[in-house]
Amino acid sequence: MRKIIVSVLGHDRPGIIATVADVLFRSGCNIEDVSQTLLQTEFAGIFIASCPESLEQDELLDRLRAKLDPMGLSALLREMEETGIWEPPPVEPFVITTLGPDRLGLVAGVTELLARFGVNISNLKAVFRGGDDPNANTMIYEVDIPITVDQRLFREALRERGTELGIDISLQHREIFEAIHRV
């Protein structure tokens, strides 16, 4: 089955998901996954849908843009590859939390290290409101660490990076959070 990915970006308002879903429905597409998020005032949504072989990609994009452009929203559409370009290795789930004052390069500094160790981010929530209150400047990364990564080396590297960036970084196994908070 042919699949497409649609992503939509722009200023949030009621009716965005309804508009995209309506165009997909009228074009014979079946939504398999959808996720949206809001950052401050901005909306981002991503849809994966299966669609008829006969449907032209450009035609669907034109239909989407015809509806979304007047709402001030951008749309992107591409075919979903059947086989992955990157196959994940066996991993264990962890949570990396950072607390500390805002400054330039925090996300870049942490993620460069994660990329170097082959650590994949599965979810990220970062809030920087400035000032010195550590709780107002946090990053919470849910990550998958390959089991081949040396935990001690990785921990040490994170700690050093935290010192360089002036923030407090902790690494915990995700199971700890689930054990404590889920019944």
Partner 1 sequence: MLTYREVLSTLEMLKNEHLDVRTVTLGISLFDCASREPVEFIDAMSAKIESCARNLVKVCDEVAVRYGIPIVNKRIAVSPIAVAACPCGPDRMVEVARAMDRAAQNVGVDFIGGFSALIEKGFTRGDYALVEAIPEALAVTEHVCSSVNVASTRAGINMDAVYLMGKTIKKAAALTGERDGVGCAKLCVFANIPQDVPFMAGAYLGVGEPDLVINVGVSGPGVVKKAIDRAREANPGLDLGQLSEIIKRTAFKVTKVGELIGRRVASELDVPFGVVDLSLAPTPNVGDSVGEIFQSLGLGSIGVPGSTAALALLNDAVKKGGAFASSYVGGLSGAFIPVSEDLNIARAAERGFLSIEKLEAMTSVCSVGLDMIALAGDTSAETLAAIIADEMAIGVINRKTTAARLIPVPGKRAGDKASFGGLLGGATIMAAPGAGSSEFVRLGGRIPAPTQSLTN
Binding residues for partner 1 (CB under 8 A): 92, 95, 97, 123, 125, 135, 138, 140, 142, 151-152, 155, 170-177, 179-181
Least separation, in Å, of the C-beta of 117 and partner 1? Answer: 15
**At its nearest, how many Å lie between partner 1 and the CB of residue 12?**
20
Q: How far is the CB of 135 from partner 1 (least distance, A)?
A: 7
| Residue among 62 and 178 whose Cβ is closer to partner 1 | 178
> Smaller CB distance to partner 1: residue 71 or 176?
176
The minimum distance between CB 157 and partner 1, in angstroms, equals: 14
Closer to partner 1 at the Cβ: 104 or 179? 179
- In the bound state with partner 1, the residue whose beta carbon lies nearer, of 106 and 138, is 138
Q: Count CA atoms within 13 Å of residue 85 on its CB side.
A: 2
Contact 53, 43 (CB under 8 A): no
As a whole number of angstroms, the distance between CA 49 and CA 104 comes to 38
Tokens of 4: 């497409």
